Amino acid sequence: MDAGEILLVLVAVAVGFFAKGVTGLGGPPLAIPVLAAFMGVEYAVAVIAIPGALANFWLMIENRSSSTNIRWFLVPMMATGVVGTLLGVWLLLSIDDRIMSVALGVFMLLYIFWYLLNPERKIDDRTARRLAAPAGFGGGILAGATGISAPIIATYVHSLRLARSEFVFAISVPFFFLGLMQIASLAALGGYNQARVTAGIIACVPVVIVTPIAMRLGRRLPVRAFQYVVLAVLGISAIRLLWSGLA
């Protein structure tokens, strides 16, 4: 890597993972499109997976006290997410992902519109239980294919209207374990070389710097403000997905 590539990785990761420290979202959805525009999707996904695993583990441990009330959907989500991730990694290395990007971007914008029509509305518990496994499977496919599982997993969890710490823990757990599956699958299929591993380790530096600052800021946000910040991150991700699919 030359100096310009290193700087690009550091800046993209710092901005993306600051948002992640505040809301539990960000990181890959914001950093991957920036890197992919210059270095290709496969390179960006492989590199950002490494600091992504670090950040998700940190947030998971930080908010572990909120795990009691949300285990009912995490178990089926994780079980199907593992299968989806394996399929997604194969898709990453095999097919064009532009159609998937457009479909997900549209899906996220529709959800945002649905939320804004009635911010107090939430999906009922019975429906939430039925959707947990499909959300995990779809999120796993995205994690493997694009490095970004938030369009499905975060949208599902956001619809449950959880408190901030519960929300952050609920998305950090699948993000972390699906991220590990993605890294292992990429390594097994030849998706890593010395340059990509080095770039991923370098990318961990800004994560260590910005994450504690961002977490402190996130704890001070009122519940409604937090919901809208999460919605804004989802909106940015949707626009980037549409742009990458249509450009």
pLDDT at site 223? 67
pLDDT value of residue 2: 67
How confident is the model at residue 93, as a pLDDT? 67
**What phi, psi does 208 have (nearest 5°)?**
-65, -35
45 closest CA partner among 178, 211, 231, 236: 178
d(CA 32, CA 236): 13
Rounded distance between C-alpha atoms, residue 142 and residue 212, angstroms = 27
Residue 114 amino acid letter: W
Q: What is the pLDDT of residue 98?
A: 72
For residue 120, the one-letter residue type is E
pLDDT at residue 54, rounded to an integer: 93
User: Two tokens at 191?
Assistant: 């998706």
Q: What is the pLDDT of residue 218?
A: 81
Alpha-carbon span 115 to 118, nearest angstrom: 6
Contacts of 209 (CB under 8 A, 6+ apart): 14
DSSP annotation string for the chain:
--HHHHHHHHHHHHHHHHHHHHHS--SHHHHHHHHHHHH-HHHHHHHHHHHHHHHHHHHHHHTGGG-GGGHHHHHHHHHHHHHHHHHHHHHHTTS--HHHHHHHHHHHHHHHHHHHH-TT----HHHHHHHHHHHHHHHHHHHHHHS--HHHHHHHHHTT---HHHHHHHHHHHHHHHHHHHHHHHHHTT---HHHHHHHHHHHHHHHHHHHHHHHHHHTS-HHHHHHHHHHHHHHHHHHHHHHHH-
The count of other CB atoms within 10 Å of the CB of residue 118 is 8
Tokens of 77: 């989500």
**CB burial class (10 A; 0-12, 13-18, 19+) of residue 150?**
buried
User: Mean pLDDT of successive 10-residue segments in the chain (247 residues)?
Assistant: 72 83 77 74 84 91 78 81 82 68 73 73 78 88 74 80 83 85 84 89 91 86 74 76 76
Domain regions of the chain by residue span: 3-246
Start-to-end CA distance of the chain, whole Å, equals: 26
What one-letter code names the amino acid at 149? S
Q: What is the pTM of this model?
A: 0.74
